[in-house]
Amino acid sequence: MSDYKKLNNHPLELVLVEVRYSPILNVKKYIPELHDQLRGDFPNFNTVVDKAVNFNNDQVDFSNIERWLFTSKDGQRVVDIDQNRVVYATTKYDRFDGFQEDVQQIVEVLKNIVNPSIYTRVGLRYCDNITSLDGGDAGLSELVVPQLLFDDTFSNIGQKGFKRQEYLIATGTTHLVIRTVQTVTPNVLPEDLVSIGLKVKADETAKLRLLLDFDHFWQDSNNPKDFEVDNILETLSGLHEASREAFWNATTPYARNEIWL
């Protein structure tokens, strides 16, 4: 299908892009200049230290990974940088063109100041929160295709808890991972993104919902690409098309034409 209508009431909660580059061990020294260039759109600053576990032969080592977060005034956009990658995430997504312009600005600043030599991965992730219309299975089945939902296979055993699925699809030189979770929960994002550092529209009550997570990426550590803005934008643009088609395939015409339009 080539006619993708704009969904003004879409269930999209968050979009993020990740670019992994060759390690820059002294990236910390560039952080003040990076923030100077980005502070117009991302005035808030925070440093986060994560714990990493490293396995070497029979030994287990622990190390700290420092990350720097630049957040917009409204808390709906964030740039997350460490020595291996940059992430841009937003809960304020309108059209892909505008999102790509934001990515271009961030990558250009990174190129001009830090100048990584190569990149080995570009990932684009869309996270949708689809809530049942009536609070039950019937209301959810009006919005998404039945293959993603509970069926009656185990209904005689007990009460349904949750259903989790994961698909891996090779799309030429890229891979699309689609994760779905059907459950009753107040969370509107996948578990690994709950603490991403953005203002997310939290749901006050637990509801029956399907969390749709489209994670499309190009990755090739053996054949990296030169860290040039045009190269990265070209890779990103190719990831968008399949993710959009997958959302259309996962949802019903009624949802897109009546509920979300």
Domains of the chain: which residue ranges? 12-259
Region 99-123 average pLDDT: 98
Region 133-153 average pLDDT: 95
How much is the pLDDT for 61? 76
**How many other C-beta atoms lie within 10 A of the C-beta of residue 206?**
11
| Residue-wise pLDDT tens digits, 187-241 | 999 999 988 889 887 789 999 999 999 999 999 999 999 999 999 999 999 999 9
How confident is residue 1, by pLDDT bands cut at 50, 70 and 90?
very low
Look up the pTM and report it: 0.94
Q: Which two three-digit tokens encode residue 69? A: 């977060």
Distance CA 147, CA 246 (A): 13
DSSP conformation letters of 221-242: SSS-EE--HHHHHHHHHHHHHH
With beta carbons less than 8 A apart as the criterion, state whether 23 and 83 touch.
yes
Of 210, 187, 242, nearest to 128 by C-alpha is: 210
Sign of CA dihedral 42, 86, 105, 7: negative
Of 26, 17, 15, 31, nearest to 232 by C-alpha is: 17
Region 31-37 average pLDDT: 98
| Residue-wise pLDDT tens digits, 48-104 | 998 777 777 777 777 788 999 999 999 999 999 999 999 999 999 999 999 999 999
| Residue-wise pLDDT tens digits, 154-180 | 888 998 899 999 999 999 999 999 999
